[in-house]
Amino acid sequence: MVKQQRAARTRQALIEAAAAVFAEEGFAAASLSTISRQAGVSNGALHFHFASKNALADAVEAQACERLARITATAPARPGPLLQRVIDATHTLMEALTADVVLRGAFALACEPARPRDGSPHLHWQHWLEGTLHRAERTGALARGIRAADTARTLVAATVGFAVLGADDPAWLGRPHMTALWNALLPGLAARQELPRLRSTGPHPPAPAPPHSRPQP
């Protein structure tokens, strides 16, 4: 059991180190020795867990897809308009890209021309957006003439673009930039009756706790 736990920790350390190196240097320039050094393990330990750099990249993308699936899985449980769920999910994704090195690394890998597209988190994201927006289209939540598939591709391009820009300047992943995007998109995207129900700012941050009242003397 102890050996299994140690092996699992080593494997996870390698995935996180690889994601960080892929995000910073790109897939082609990343070396296995740099990844093993950043993970704090030997080259032999790396090759025990992963046969090649491609296998390591596959593991980064697979784990990122699992984490992205958790983001999209929580959106349908939220009450309110379907478009609000899409808005909230884009904000949540940007927050996750800020905090989660595996997601950042996988999004960087998905922009590499040499990498296959079938395991890309971009595809999972696009499929979820298309499905949710098709439902919004069927219920009349989109403006006349707006197609769900076109809107999904636009949002994928925008969010991937923010992820790429955020690699150099994390401010691109902040709430103000995503809010500004939705402020620009919503007037032409949403049906008129939907607009008053939508918040471009995404999920409201938790309200601050009230200050403790001072005891009376």
Nearest-10 Cα torsion for 156, 172, 13, 111: 40
Provide the pLDDT for residue 158. 95
Domain segments of the chain: what residues?
A: 61-197
Kindly give the confidence (pLDDT) of every residue in the chain, 217 residues in length, as a single tens digit, with 9 standing for 90 and above.
677 888 899 999 999 999 999 999 989 899 999 999 999 999 999 999 999 999 999 999 999 999 999 999 887 666 679 999 999 999 999 999 999 999 999 999 988 877 777 778 989 999 999 999 999 999 999 999 999 999 999 999 999 999 989 988 999 999 999 999 999 999 999 999 999 999 999 986 544 444 544 434 3
94-136: per-residue pLDDT in tens?
Answer: 999 999 999 999 999 988 877 777 778 989 999 999 999 999 9
Choose among 143, 121, 6: nearest CA to 58. Answer: 121
Please, what's the largest Cα pairwise distance for the chain?
71
Provide the pLDDT for residue 118. 73
The kind and range of the H/E element at 23 are: helix 2-25
Provide the pLDDT for residue 215. 38
| SS3 label, residue 217 | coil
Choose among 139, 129, 128: nearest CA to 185. Answer: 129
DSSP secondary structure code for residue 190 in this structure: B
Q: What amino acid is encoded at 24 in this protein?
A: E
Provide the pLDDT for residue 180. 97
CATH 1.10.357.10 fits 61-197, yes or no: yes
DSSP secondary structure code for residue 47 in this structure: H
Residues 102/15, Cβ–Cβ less than 8 Å? yes
- Residue written as token pair 């090759």: 47
Report the distance separating Cα 167 and Cα 110, nearest Å.
14
Report the distance separating Cα 136 and Cα 201, nearest Å.
19
What global pTM score does this model have? 0.85
Residues 15/64, Cβ–Cβ less than 8 Å? no
Report the distance separating Cα 75 and Cα 86, nearest Å.
8
Choose among 179, 94, 78, 201: nearest CA to 132. Answer: 78
74-101: per-residue pLDDT in tens?
Answer: 876 666 799 999 999 999 999 999 999 9
C-alpha distances in Å from residue 28, one per residue of 12, 21, 35, 46, 131: 21, 11, 13, 18, 34
- Helix axis angle for 2-25 and 32-39, nearest 10°, is 130
